[in-house]
Chains A and B, each alone.
Chain A
Amino acid sequence: MSFDLASLRAEFPILRERPGGRPIHYLDNAATAQMPQIAIDAVSRHEATSRGNIFRGIHRLAEMATEAYQKARADVARYCGVADPDEIVFTGGTTGGINLIAHSLGDGFAPGDEILVSELEHHSNIVPWQLLGERRGTVLRWLPVTDEGRLDLAALDRSVTGRTKLIALTHASNVTGAVTDIARVAKAARRVGAQVLLDGAQMAPHGPLDLPALGIDYYVFSGHKVYGPNGIGVLWSRRERLKALPPFLGGGHMIRRVTKERSTWAEIPHRFEAGTMPIAQAVGLGAALRWATGLDWEAAVTHMQRLTQRLLDGIGAVRGSRVVGPQGLQQRIGVVSFMLPGLHPHDVCQVLDGHGVALRGGHHCCQPLMDRFGIVGATRASVAPYSDDADVDAFLAGLDAVQRRLS
């Protein structure tokens, strides 16, 4: 393991690009992280040398594709600290994973059963539960957020009731960067026999996981945020939990036997992988997480925290600015959202784009959180292990420019 920033950056070909003649200062990692060459090559090599459909083909290419797909599952399991690769279900992404649980688990809920979410959630962890409520009459309850942008866990005990069937929360916020205290959530869930789903879209990119140790039931994340391709994601649950769930989507591969009258289901994880899955994307995800598993994350996190502190300090130095999230580094990832006085996030992003800085502005698919803070949106900078001081320098210079130009 090693953490040599220059070498690390050299592994990401996009960082050598100069669109518009400017270097790329990519600080939109919370939206999509970049892919290392090794993962790009894995996708390309698979398509060029091993492309075939998986599991049912009786020919060499089909066998190679199947082997690559299953190896990817094992690589994902290793990154997640999961001993049994069959507990890894490939999905289309975080949204796909949550919708799978909302159907396969949620459709078994009764009218009046409660799902607890929080004001921090991304729309992908809100809307599926609202849709479930329309189908099944379940009730959505909300855990509040503190002024610092953290879950208000003091409200947990009164928010979890005897009717709570599922607590569905973010592991780390895509707006405030706050990391959830999972142990307290898991304890509250156990008290009433509820299950816990974590949206790991933002946490998973920040280092290998130990999912079985979290004391939760379901974990979902997206490939494109963990240095892999888009169109692929992960759902993890324990074998017995998955085996107890009916399928979500029906189709090819997910069956044991189909008759005119009824069908029976394949074993896990195949029961949840209907139709031809995004095979090359799974292979790319496996390669990306194999790469990520080998990174020195202690050094990477220290590096990202230093950059995050620079972002916080630079934003804080702007008169009238407001950070939407914790001011410090404790229990937070390198996702920094902020408001500049009198400036709209899209205008800030647009001007900084002119400086080669890629940010994200808007409601970040978190409109209830925006309502909680009384804002339309925020500008967000987010770091990855390959981010460097030049990225932060360009960001801070852009902040000066946008104020000079538009304030």
Chain B
Amino acid sequence: MSEDLYHAQLVALARAADGAGRLDAPALFGEADNPLCGDRVRMTLRLDGDRIAALAHETRGCLLCEAAAAAIARHAAGARPRDLLALGAGLRQWLNGDRPLPEPGWAELAAFAPVKSVRGRHDCVLLPFDALRTALASR
């Protein structure tokens, strides 16, 4: 079970590290910590009207956390903030087994399916979404 978590698609997503870095100011900023392990995601983003124009993240985390941050970065540009927040909330429910995979979602999200059965790692996937929510709340 443990090794199933780290299938090739997930590892590749994490290693791709889409959006890794930091946007120059002015940008919205948010960060989230996982107090259990010390992992931290810092997210910077710029808005253009009601859409995200650019997003970057500095992720000090495990492979699951890196993969989730990369997935967000891959799809953030052009997305509406409320849609991303809804996706994060839906992802949490999906990991808990309370609902199907959020639709419309991203193809990458299915890569996290093995995490569903490892409850202790759900927060690893959700940490970048927490940082995103904090950044958007700073508007």
Q: Which residues of A contact B (CB under 8 A)?
A: 20, 344-347, 350-354, 361-363, 367, 370, 376-377, 401, 405-406
Binding site for A on B (CB under 8 A): 1-3, 5-6, 11, 36-40, 60-64, 118, 121, 124
CB distance from B123 to the nearest CB of A (A): 11
Distance, CA A376 to CA B58, complexed state (A) = 14
Contacts of A370 in B (CB 8 A): 38
Give the complex CA separation of A354 and B1 in angstroms: 6
**Bound: A354/B11 CA distance, A:** 17
Q: Which of B1, B39, B118 contacts A20 (CB 8 A)?
A: B1
Whether the Cβ atoms of A346 and B37 lie closer than 8 Å is yes
Add 15 more A-B contacts to A351-B2, A377-B37 (CB < 8 A). A20-B1, A344-B63, A345-B37, A346-B62, A347-B63, A347-B64, A350-B6, A350-B118, A352-B2, A354-B3, A363-B37, A363-B38, A376-B40, A406-B6, A406-B63
Cα(A376)–Cα(B2), bound, Å: 22
Contact between B38 and A344, CB atoms less than 8 A apart: no
Given A350-B121, A362-B37, A376-B37, are A344 and B61 also a contact pair (CB < 8 Å)?
Answer: yes
Which residue of chain B is the closest to A362 with respect to CB atoms?
B37
> What CA separation (Å) do A378 and B121 show in the bound complex?
17
Among A20, A347, A353, A367, which residue has its beta carbon within 8 angstroms of that of B62? A347
Given A346-B121, A347-B62, A347-B63; A367-B38 close (CB under 8 Å)? yes
The secondary structure that dominates the B interface is mixed
Which applies to chain A's interface (DSSP): helix, strand, loop or mixed? Answer: helix
Contact partners of B62 in chain A: CB under 8 A: 344-347
Asked whether, in the complex, the Cβ of A347 is within 8 Å of the Cβ of B6, the reply is yes
Q: Kindly state the separation between the CA atoms of A353 and B62 in the bound complex, as whole angstroms.
A: 16
15 contacts between A and B (CB under 8 A): A345-B62, A346-B124, A347-B6, A347-B63, A347-B64, A350-B6, A350-B121, A351-B3, A353-B2, A362-B37, A362-B38, A376-B61, A405-B3, A406-B6, A406-B11
The answer to whether A351 and B38 touch across the interface, beta carbons within 8 angstroms, is no
* Cα separation A350 to B40 with both chains bound (whole Å): 19
Contacts of A344 in B (CB 8 A): 39, 61-63
Assess whether B2 is in contact with A354, with CB atoms less than 8 Å apart.
yes
CB neighbours (8 Å) of B1 from chain A are 20, 354
Measured CA separation A176–B17 after assembly (Å): 32
Q: A351-B2, A405-B6, A406-B63 are in contact. Are A362 and B118 (CB under 8 A)?
A: no
